[in-house]
Amino acid sequence: MPRKFCINNLPEICNTIPAAVIAFDTNCRVLVFNKYAESFFGVHPSIIVGYNLHSVGITFGSEDQNIASLLTTGESIIDKELTITYNNTPYPVRLSVNPLYNCDGTITGALAILHDNSLVSLPEPRMQHLETLASIGEMTAGTIHEIRNPLTSISGFVQLLSVRAMRQHDETSIEYCRLISDEVTHINNILSDFLTLAKPQPNKFLKLNIIRPISDVLTLLYGEALMYGIDIKQNIDNETLYVMGNSEKIREVLINLCRNAFQAMTRGGTLTLTVKSDENAITTMITDTGHGMSLELIDNIFKPFFTTKETGTGLGLSVCQRIIREHNGQINVASKPGEGTTFTLLFPRLKE
């Protein structure tokens, strides 16, 4: 007979279970995300609790369907080995899910208990894999610096050639120089993004007012928006909202998302930046009226090097995702082809 958990005192009960626990109601809205779940996924409960499991990016893989039927039939899932995903990252787990009952005996939700299976099943290879990744990171960072130096020389000499070609009114050479210059800039962009991904810098996190970097970015991008024929609208509900974070990095995320939005609005449009807050979380939304994305496209956009642009690096969103994770936050996307896209960032809010 499976044990019957009762909805009363659920958070306290869950924190006594030595495993990651997620309780949710029949609409899959998260009720409890215990402290083990917090460290397992590396995300603060404030940006999970109260939201739908799928909208925060948690899926139970092959058991999704069984969980949906469990919420009506009450049939438990016991100790299944599977891979669940959070924010597109796979987590091998052993999963048990029991229905949660109201005091009157009706099902009011479910309690999922997750045991980390990654190190249990593959201790040695996984450790080796992590070590290999770390040394690849080091090597990549070194190589990138080595490539940058000759690139700087190439840029310099191309500029000299370009000046000479201009003096001689040699239009063909001027055009070739411009092409070389553009390509060098493109290589440099790839290298900077790749460096952020391969070897994240140690984080200098401080208590900061997130409205600051947001305003900075709007000021910075104002001219660019004008050039693309884009209106910028702001919708900010509070002038001071504190987070634990790094201004530079938050700026980098916002610039990436706004630039993507600009590039999606080739015939002009409106970019709306909304900031909403509640006691626990800060929600920042970047909405464009651009060409939007199909579901298939959305599945790929966070993969490194995935791009649909001729001169894209395909690294912008991977960098954004990494930075947001470092801030214990979340990045989600909603889009409709032909109508536009909204990227939503969630940050845990610091008390003043």
Residues in contact with ligand ADP, shown as a per-residue x/- string from 286 to 315 under the rule CB under 6 A = --x-xxxx-------x----xxxx--xxxx
Determine if 97 is a binding residue for ligand ADP (CB under 6 A).
no
Selected binder of Mg ion within 162, 260, 332, 335 (CB under 5 A):
260
Cβ of residue 287: shortest distance to ligand ADP, in angstroms?
9
**Residue 112 binds which entry of Mg ion, ligand ADP, none, with Cβ cut-offs from 5 to 8 Å by kind?**
none
Residue 29 has what DSSP assignment? Answer: B
Residue 1 has what DSSP assignment? Answer: -
Burial of 138 (0-12, 13-18, 19+ CB in 10 A): exposed
Residue type, 202: P
For residues 316, 319, 323, 329, the Cα torsion angle rounded to the nearest 10 degrees is: 70
Give the other-Cβ count within 10 Å of 66's Cβ.
17
Selected binder of ligand ADP within 162, 196, 246, 260 (CB under 6 A):
260
Residues in contact with ligand ADP, shown as a per-residue x/- string from 37 to 76 under the rule CB under 6 A = ----------------------------------------
Residue type, 258: C
**Closest CA relative to residue 273, chosen from 340, 213, 330, 342:** 342
Phi, psi of 52 (to 5 degrees): -70, 140
Interface residues for Mg ion in 174-203 (CB under 5 A)?
none
Determine if 329 is a binding residue for Mg ion (CB under 5 A).
no
Question: Nearer Cβ to ligand ADP, position 127 or 297?
Answer: 297
Determine if 110 is a binding residue for ligand ADP (CB under 6 A).
no
Question: Nearer Cβ to ligand ADP, position 108 or 318?
Answer: 318
Question: Nearer Cβ to ligand ADP, position 246 or 256?
Answer: 256
Cα 77 from Cα 80, distance rounded (Å)? 7
Residues with Cβ within 8 Å of 85's Cβ and at least 6 positions away in sequence, in order, are: 57, 58, 59, 61, 91
Selected binder of Mg ion within 316, 329, 340, 348 (CB under 5 A):
316
For residues 258, 348, 321, 134, the Cα torsion angle rounded to the nearest 10 degrees is: 140
Q: Using CB under 6 A as the criterion, which residues of the chain lie in contact with ligand ADP when the complex forms?
A: 256, 260-261, 264, 288, 290-293, 301, 306-309, 312-317, 341
Positions in the binding site for Mg ion (CB under 5 A): 260, 316
